[in-house]
Chains A and B, each alone.
Chain A
Amino acid sequence: QKEVEQNSGPLSVPEGAIASLNCTYSDRVSQSFFWYRQYSGKSPELIMSIYSNGDKEDGRFTAQLNKASQYVSLLIRDSQPSDSATYLCAVNGGGSARQLTFGSGTQLTVLP
């Protein structure tokens, strides 16, 4: 079982819709959770971080964390064609772990 799992997609939504991206993780002691956006051929760009259960909103983006279910999600409201990218879920483990463990990413396409 992979440590961080994401639906690979592709996920297509029409412009203006809500895009919902999901991620599950296996390490119960994981402490920090991140969403990165990666355009084709580019490096990952941090868009959201979340550390405690509940919702965190930043503009059109909302991250949701449920540690009991080991689940983290990203909602993108009013999706734009410029949101078309691969979204990577990353988890920073507990204990002495400092590195991020990434999922394989979900490819999102926003259709004009």
Chain B
Amino acid sequence: DTGVSQDPRHKITKRGQNVTFRCDPISEHNRLYWYRQTLGQGPEFLTYFQNEAQLEKSRLLSDRFSAERPKGSFSTLEIQRTEQGDSAMYLCASSFPGSEQYFGPGTRLTVT
């Protein structure tokens, strides 16, 4: 049984560049969540999918952020025109409906 996986684990990019992260949920979990965590804070919700439908987006998710889950399996999170304030750990979690959320290892983004 494999857990949630994320790729890449680390990403260093220059301000203004676009980046894309991938998340593979636990198989058969139909819910997938993206969170962002900065140092000393708890994770903050970004967006959530049930199967391929994006059902909820946080106000934190500016128009530079876009997420997809085209076939209801893996998901991608893209950040366009990155800013230094985007530096954070990006966490993906998955769950069954109404059940506990399990997190992947995260992608640490550094914008220079």
Contacts and interface: CB of A to CB of B under 8 A. Distances in A.
Interface of A: 4, 34, 36, 42-46, 49, 88, 90, 98-105
B56 interface: yes
Contact of A45 (B40, B43, B103): B103
A44 B103 contact: yes
B101 interface: yes
> Which label, helix, strand, loop or mixed, suits the secondary structure of the A interface?
strand
A4 to B, nearest CB: 8
Contacts of B25: none
Contact of A90 (B42, B55, B102, B106): B42
A46 B102 contact: yes
Sorting the interface of chain B by its residue count into under 10, 10 to 19, 20 to 34 or 35 or more gives 20 to 34
Interface in B56-112: 56, 58, 89, 91, 100-106
A99 B100 contact: no
Nearest to B103: A43
B103 A102 contact: no
Most buried by B among A34, A45, A102, A103: A102
The 9 closest A-B pairs by CB, nearest first: A102-B42, A99-B45, A43-B106, A43-B103, A44-B103, A88-B42, A43-B105, A102-B43, A49-B100
A42 B55 CA distance: 28
